[in-house]
A and B are shown apart, each in its own frame.
Chain A
């Protein structure tokens, strides 16, 4: 079950994980992009966590939309924009709810991913964050349908995100600056997918701690 407290705790957990992984993200992005991924993720999620902590709102959807706006404004990278678009679409779907089930959350997450794919004109297999998020979404839905507990389903999602991220090593970049060096991209793990993996690992860890 997801409510305002769990949304706030989740964003705070992601913020801490991004801060811990800033060097890894910077390194991955410097090899293919312009190197601002680590700082951009840290800045964006820490601002979002800070804003949400003092934002008195019980509506899960409105909280997510607020998170999207702050992330968009404080994380000036393409990945910041992409995540903010996804979170916005998920938030819109959950607007009016003060709590939601795992299935409802999985549906909202799916709408977020659809928005990302439409707007960024990308699909799985193109060496992007989608290669971590889509497997996570599939695992999440499957686990939710089986009626697993929140911490079990997030564990499954984190595992799927991590495996998906690993697979980006054998993919060729076709989006963004990384695409200019497409032929050199094989063997490198995608920075965006790594951020996706960090997000789900943080969510999984935070749900275990919450028990």
Chain B
């Protein structure tokens, strides 16, 4: 195994140091703690929106801290939840008197730590709301949708919540519109090769040479089925079919679509997948709004692709999605 690192134990902190050195205008370490990153500019009275999660998924989660998106992010070790103490630092940094929304993916460790952090914040009289993202349709059937994991759809959730807060909507308004957005967000992914944790040094799971895992999670959680390797068009068609079984898209509907590489998949391949997905939607008469193709939620050097949908028939969601944002890993220009 080859990794361009110095020492496995320094992987997370050295990544964070690099990001901080590259973006001192956008990010700062709260109280000098690299694991609690906050944006440099604060607006009095703005509802705070923070997130948190394990490392190994850049640009998720930290990469979306910045104007128009997140106020702070608690960073954990690779694939491990940050501590409640670090989350509390982020909550305090993001609180501008209007309370804070903790918006994060549905993973046991993250959920428990965020709940503990909000109990600690409550002792300091900071109002905290929780919104748990569970967009991965492959991780549980619809009747158990609460048990689904959060994956690349987190990006859409950050975008909507961050824009709403930036427009000075109240904590409850931001929370309401974000939950409405989540009803319109779904994701699914396929993986073709595994990832390697720096501190382990070899893949902890395997994917057959001519196989593809449908629905594998971003930590290598087993998917819903193992299939023989498929063509890009077949993959795009299959993923879109599964997504639109839950988010119906018909003629005249509007939606954004996000094609996300898991870490080792070239942009070329992502665009080949996008090509097919876009053609299917255009043929249906669906208007595609500002599609995103690139890396948003990765899994180290895992190869594979995920597809996320955000249905945007709702005028307010559309306006918030179009709202400008500027973060280290994502910039949205104001629309003309």
Contact = CB atoms under 8 A, between A and B. Distances in A.
B80 A119 contact: no
B47 to A, nearest CB: 25
A73 B84 CA distance: 7
A171 B188 CA distance: 32
Given A35-B200, A85-B112, A85-B116, A76 B76 contact: yes
Contact of B116 (A76, A77, A81, A175): A81
B18 interface: no
Nearest to A85: B116
Contacts of A78: 81, 108-109, 112
A180 interface: yes
**Contact size range, A:** 20 to 34
B85 A81 contact: no
Interface in A64-89: 69, 72-73, 76-78, 81-82, 84-85, 88
Interface string A171-211: 00001110010000000000000000000000000000000
B84 to A, nearest CB: 5
Contact of B77 (A76, A81, A82): A76
Interface in B183-201: 197, 200
Contact of A120 (B112, B197, B221): B112
Contacts of A81: 81, 83-84, 109, 112-113, 116
Contacts of B80: 36, 76-77
A88 B81 CA distance: 18
B79 A34 contact: yes
B222 interface: yes
A84 B77 contact: no
Interface in B105-123: 108-109, 112-113, 115-116, 119
Contacts of A119: 112, 115-116
B84 A72 contact: yes
A34 B80 CA distance: 10
A198 B83 CA distance: 23
Contacts of B222: 180
Given A180-B221, A180-B222, A72 B113 contact: yes
B172 interface: no
A82 B112 contact: yes
B112 A73 contact: no
Contacts of A34: 79, 197, 204
Given A119-B115, A177-B221, A180-B222, A72 B83 contact: yes
B85 A69 contact: yes
Interface of B: 76-77, 79-86, 108-109, 112-113, 115-116, 119, 197, 200, 204, 221-222
Interface of A: 34-36, 69, 72-73, 76-78, 81-82, 84-85, 88, 119-120, 175-177, 180
17 contacts: A36-B80, A72-B85, A72-B113, A73-B83, A76-B76, A76-B77, A76-B81, A78-B109, A78-B112, A81-B81, A81-B84, A81-B113, A81-B116, A82-B112, A84-B116, A85-B116, A177-B221
Given A76-B83, A81-B116, A120-B112, 15 more contacts: A72-B84, A73-B86, A76-B76, A76-B77, A76-B80, A76-B82, A77-B80, A78-B81, A81-B84, A81-B109, A82-B112, A88-B119, A119-B112, A120-B108, A177-B221
Closest 3 CB pairs of A and B: A73-B83, A76-B80, A72-B83
